[in-house]
Amino acid sequence: MQGVNVKSEIGNLKKVILHRPGNELLNLTPNTLEELLFDDIPFLEVAQAEHDAFAGILREEGVEVVYLEDLMAEALDTDPGLREKFLDQWIYEAGIRTDLYTQIIKDYINSEYAGTKDMVMKTMAGINLQELPQQHTNLLVDMVSDRTKLVCAPMPNLYFTRDPFNMIGNGVGINRMYSTTRNRETIYGDYIFNYHPDFKDVPQYYSRENTFHIEGGDVLNINDHVLAIGISQRTEPDAIDQLAHNVFSDETSTIDTILAFNIPVSRAFMHLDTVFTQIDYDKFTIHPGIMGPLTVFEITPDGNGGTKIRERDEDLESILTEYVGQPVKLIPCGGGDRIAAEREQWNDGSNTLCVRPGTVVVYQRNNVTNDVLYKNGINCLVMPSAELSRGRGGPRCMSMPAWREAI
């Protein structure tokens, strides 16, 4: 399967991109949690076992699982000059600005991580000062710095592959992320979609060099004509305007409507997919806390190369019914119990990954919500989640579908 094909949230999932948590989690410390967007430190060994179980569930359902780190290594191996180009870019984006330390880090990586995949994994894990060979640099910063200081920060959020880039029909958006910490993650998608033989010809609808922030967790493919995008803590309306223009201008795209959901700015409501996901032809999970303040805007082409926007005053069920083409049912996280909803929403009870219509991967810990889904005829593929959930993302966050069959 070359290229990408994602024109719904529920079509039979055939290929997905994951990232298995690696040593980047070992570089999380209490002092860096806030900066690196974590609330706690996952236990790596258990997190990896949970992630392997997730990948195993998908393979058992007939899904081809490919890993971000493998795709990146394969992309770099297409041209001998790409390794050095990537390293220079990665070091610069890590905040290294001196020729001396640029060379020290390059020499260290090239000597200790000669294999392409090993090098890629090391760039994800980060580098602290004590790893580098001690040299007399005559730099004041080296004399006063703790040897455990991070020189190149890790990317612990990478196992949430949904966000750095996202598929839109047969195209992709390479995103500009909300935080500097996560924006560095998009470098891997940039190389994959520019150099990997399976992905280099995919149309690109957004660039990581753009000014405005947008993240993949806010982008949902309703069908081959409609996108839903969240205006959220991490996606700006200006980015949606720009993306809409690019998608509508592409003659190969079938998208003719974008629904912009203005959701509350909150860490609990980080992305649209943390409060709202489609799980069947006519069913969606939803966090009841967004129902009151939710506003929806419809964006369509104006016929002259621009867009027109109108605010939709109807209730959410009516809007979704119109665009899905049949009456829909919204299934509340926590079954409508406020305490259960808030608790399980925090652990991504609404963030499900649909494998096929009516079959979804869910976190084991959200037992109240899962029971409600069972009672509504949904087949729940339950995965362990004690450690992975500490990163504040669920099965949808941890997966980037590259190919779905038509619904």
Name the H helices within 146-273.
180-183, 186-195, 237-249
- State the Cα–Cα distance between residues 73 and 109, nearest whole angstrom: 15
Q: Are strands 400-404 and 13-18 parallel, antiparallel or unpaired?
A: antiparallel
- State the Cα–Cα distance between residues 282 and 239, nearest whole angstrom: 29
For residue 66 the two structure tokens come to 């490919």
Q: Out of 152, 354, 380, 397, pick the active-site residue.
A: 397
Ramachandran class of 146: left when φ > 0, alpha when ψ lies in -120 to 50, beta otherwise: beta
Nearest to 116 by CA among 66, 81, 72: 72
Total residues belonging to the chain: 407
Contacting residues for 392 by C-beta, under 8 A, at least 6 apart: 38, 39, 267, 270, 346, 348
397 is catalytic: yes
The continuous run of DSSP H or E covering 101 comes out as helix 99-112
CA Rg, the chain, in Å? 21
Name the β-bridge partners of 309: 299
Q: Are strands 165-168 and 295-301 parallel, antiparallel or unpaired?
A: unpaired
- State the Cα–Cα distance between residues 334 and 366, nearest whole angstrom: 8
Tell me the DSSP string of 268-293: TT-SGGGTEEEEETTEEEE-GGGTTT
Nearest to 359 by CA among 304, 293, 283: 283
Q: Are strands 379-383 and 165-168 parallel, antiparallel or unpaired?
A: unpaired
For residue 144 the two structure tokens come to 């006063």
Contact 102, 88 (CB under 8 A): yes
Count of beta carbons in the 10 Å neighbourhood of residue 177: 21
Residue 293, classified by CB atoms within 10 Å of its CB into exposed (0-12), middle (13-18) or buried (19+), is: exposed
CA 105 to chain centre: 28
User: What are the catalytic residues?
Assistant: 397
